[in-house]
Amino acid sequence: MKLVSLNVRNLYGYFDYNIDFNSDVTFIYGTNGCGKTTILNITEAIITGQLYKLFNYDFKEIELLYTSSVKNEKSKTIKIIRSKSNLKVIFNNKDYKIIKGSVHEISRKNPQDSREVFRYYFDQYDFLNTIKQTFNYVYLPLNRSSVLYEYEDEIDYFMMRRLRSIPSDDDYNNDFDNKDIAMMKIEALISFNYSRINSTISKFSDEFRNKILKSLLEVNRQYSIDNLVKDILKQGNTVSELQKTKKAYIKILKELELIDKSEEEDYNKFFAEFINEFSTFQKNEFEGLPLDLVIKFQEISKIKNLVILAEKMEQRKSLARKPIEIFLSTMNEFIGNSEDEKEIIINSVGRVFFITKYSNKPISIQYLSSGEKQLVTFFANLIFSVKSSTSGIFVVDEPELSLHLSWQKRFVEKTLEINKNIQLIFATHSPEIIGRNRNKMYKLEKKYVEKVELLNE
């Protein structure tokens, strides 16, 4: 889904806002106090299904227009009408009503209890979860530490516990409570995804082992002498192709730890003998096919099937590893040119560190500069929290925070390069972030209207 427009009527009783979003990038700009952060917070409340947050604002009506990536599908609307004690919501052509609960006041007094408020409303109103599932989104507010998994049941709690349990050579665990919360959540996000990716790759390997057995059985069933002879006579069986098959097969066996040095020599000898016999057979213009060559070719046929299976598995593994590789290459593209040539790395258990040209000893990302932390936060969310296969929405309040001007200039282009399906919505003061995208700017202005009092019902 992508956002088309947001219309707010009588915010705080006096102001109207009408915002049109571009399908790729929208830069919302304006003077301090014009309402940029408020508009982003309202947008976030709607697309996350947390409509009860709108009780924090006085308004008459809010209408969010959105569309899917399906061709010729009409735009849809979420409309919210406010009264003092409830919200009337029109969604999917149905009317709903959210009644303001006493639990709502808890989060205003203590933001740490916002999870309880979330559970209360989502348990009471099933359609909120439907709204939440409609959008593939990430929102980075000014307070970056509040972004990750803030309301996803206990997922951040368990992720933090897992992160604490991972052994470390530094004082990370001993000084856990004094660390940057935003970075702790980013570390947990990366660790969680690293673990999930490794589990996926392990699953692929298990499937591959099962397919090996099945493939061996199928070869024995399907190959008659006539079929083998036909395959031997195919032009594709060149010496170079056989050498290529040999290298690929031995590589597979090594990776699966199914071969030692002496066995590798045996396979090299087997292929060398076969290639020699096959070359002789070719020179004799395929006359007098030796039985020994037929038997060996049956083994070669099995091996070729295994190599094909392995290549397909490697493609799947490579696709699974891609998010990690993109994150590391992107981060190192930005920070690798620093004076100390920092490099972001992820160890074998999913902990993320950086090293410098002065030392290969891993250093916690807690000790990155503020600008580098902003980059880690942004790109980790972009790569691991937004599904690249669907039309995602990435909303960021002041993406330029702590970023060097040279980074700001490359920021948007790199983001769209990573995820071409994404819709970016930035509230910004930075001309460098906007760069060449002047036609994507939207000036946010308050439109004063006659004051409207909220209705009692």
For the stretch 46-70, pLDDT in tens is: 999 999 999 999 999 999 999 987 7
Q: Exposed (0-12), middle (13-18) or buried (19+): which is 7, by Cβ within 10 Å? A: middle
CA dihedral for 120, 123, 125, 126, sign (positive or negative):
positive
pLDDT digits (tens, 9 = 90+) for 380-417: 999 998 876 667 899 999 998 888 888 998 988 999 89
CA dihedral for 41, 43, 49, 55, sign (positive or negative):
positive
What's the whole-number mean pLDDT along residues 141-154? 56
Would you state the structure tokens that stand for residue 80, as one six-digit string?
């919210």
Contact between 410 and 431 (Cβ < 8 Å): no
Most confident region among 161-165, 196-200, 442-446 by mean pLDDT: 196-200
DSSP letter string, 62-89: EEEEEE-SSTTPPPEEEEEEE-SSEEEE
Does the pLDDT at position 163 exceed 70? no
435 three-state secondary structure: coil
Does the pLDDT at position 101 exceed 90? no
415 three-state secondary structure: helix
pLDDT computed for residue 206 by the predictor = 86
Contact between 172 and 364 (Cβ < 8 Å): yes
Residue 209, Cβ neighbours under 10 Å: how many? 12
Q: Exposed (0-12), middle (13-18) or buried (19+): which is 457, by Cβ within 10 Å? A: exposed
In the sheet that holds 136-140, the strands lie side by side as: 136-140, 392-397, 423-427, 25-29, 441-443
Most confident region among 97-101, 117-121, 350-354 by mean pLDDT: 350-354
> Residue 454 gets which letter from DSSP?
P
In this prediction, residue 159 has a pLDDT band, given cuts at 50, 70 and 90, of low
Does the pLDDT at position 297 exceed 90? no
Q: Which long-range contacts (CB under 8 A, 24 or more apart) does 196-201 make?
A: 197/320, 197/321, 197/323, 197/324, 198/350, 200/320, 201/317, 201/320, 201/321
Report field, pTM of the whole predicted structure over 0.75: yes
In this prediction, residue 153 has a pLDDT band, given cuts at 50, 70 and 90, of very low
